[in-house]
Amino acid sequence: MPLIVPEQLPAVELLKKEKIFILANESKDSALLRIGIVNLMPLKIQTETDFLRLLSNSPFRIEVDLISMASHVSKNTPAEHISMFYKQFDAIKDKHYDGLIITGAPVELLPFEEVDFWHELTRVMDWAKEHVSSTLYICWAAFAGLYYNYGIAKHVISPKISGVYPHRVLQPENPLLRGFDDLFHVPHSRFTAIDASDIDRHPELVTLTWGEGVGPHIIMGRDGREIYIVGHSEYAPDALKKEYERDMNKGMSPAAPVNYFKDNDAVRREPVVMWRSHANLLFANWLNYYVSKSIPNG
């Protein structure tokens, strides 16, 4: 089914080449889901494309609003792009959304309260509890949401978790994991972690999946009104490669992402994609069972 986004959005041309149906204007021929994306990543155009690609894999027509933080000035995305395609929170705060995605952000080493958009983001998180059917918190946003909503602290770790890690399903009966293999792979790229014991102290939180060497991965709260994902299922095939090369160019001598390059050859740097099918399934299940409110009873 089509995505409804502005036809001038840079992602549209690429997604059309991938045979993803894009509508410039809303029509009335099938159910419509309204999804907001709070994009906190620096390379916003790439992030838009990553999430729109995953949202397209559903039987629903989806109308997407891109949302920016008024309290933060992006240094890596043209101001014209943000002005043309993004809405600020005050412009949408009276709306209701079927789903909301809050992305990661490259500020994980800062205390949350020192992030320039923190106050505004807490307003969004409070607003989402009453105005959104289900919210996905991705990577840094997952740490931020768990901290703000439950007081769960993040911990700085070394070395950085970077690569594609095997994960196992802990709650196979949960609709979000319907169709998942017992073992699946997810990209990670972070300097922070959370303790499973801190999650266990909150009976309203359920850990659905666990990553070998990376810990809790998907944590669900409020029966799916909140879903915290400590990882990057949305990553494009070359995302970890670009991060690795960026850090190399900065003279940081990073370790190569694990389980990512073909034959673990960091010289040739040919990524092997092992997470695409489960990424699509994860987002399809979220849309089907939580965003569209069609979770079966019993």
pLDDT of residue 30: 53
SS3 281: helix
Beta strands 22-23 and 86-88, pairing class: unpaired
pLDDT of residue 295: 46
pLDDT of residue 296: 47
pLDDT of residue 88: 96
pLDDT of residue 84: 95
SS3 6: coil
pLDDT of residue 23: 54
pLDDT of residue 16: 67
pLDDT digits (tens, 9 = 90+) for 277-294: 999 999 999 999 999 874
- Residues with catalytic roles: 139, 232, 234
b/e per residue 116-145 (b: at least 16 CB within 10 A): ebbebbbebbebbeebbbbbbbbbbbbbbb
Indicate the pTM of the whole model.
0.90
Q: CA angle 196-182-216, nearest 5°?
A: 15
pLDDT of residue 3: 67
Low-confidence residues of the chain: pLDDT under 50? 24, 26-27, 294-298
Q: Which of 167, 149, 168, 293 is nearest to 228 (CA)?
A: 149
pLDDT of residue 228: 98
Q: Which of 227, 166, 162, 213 is nearest to 191 (CA)?
A: 162
Q: Architecture of 3-154+170-236+273-291 per CATH?
A: 3-Layer(aba) Sandwich (3.40)
What is the distance, to the nearest Å, from the Cα of residue 177 to the centroid of all Cα atoms in its chain? 16
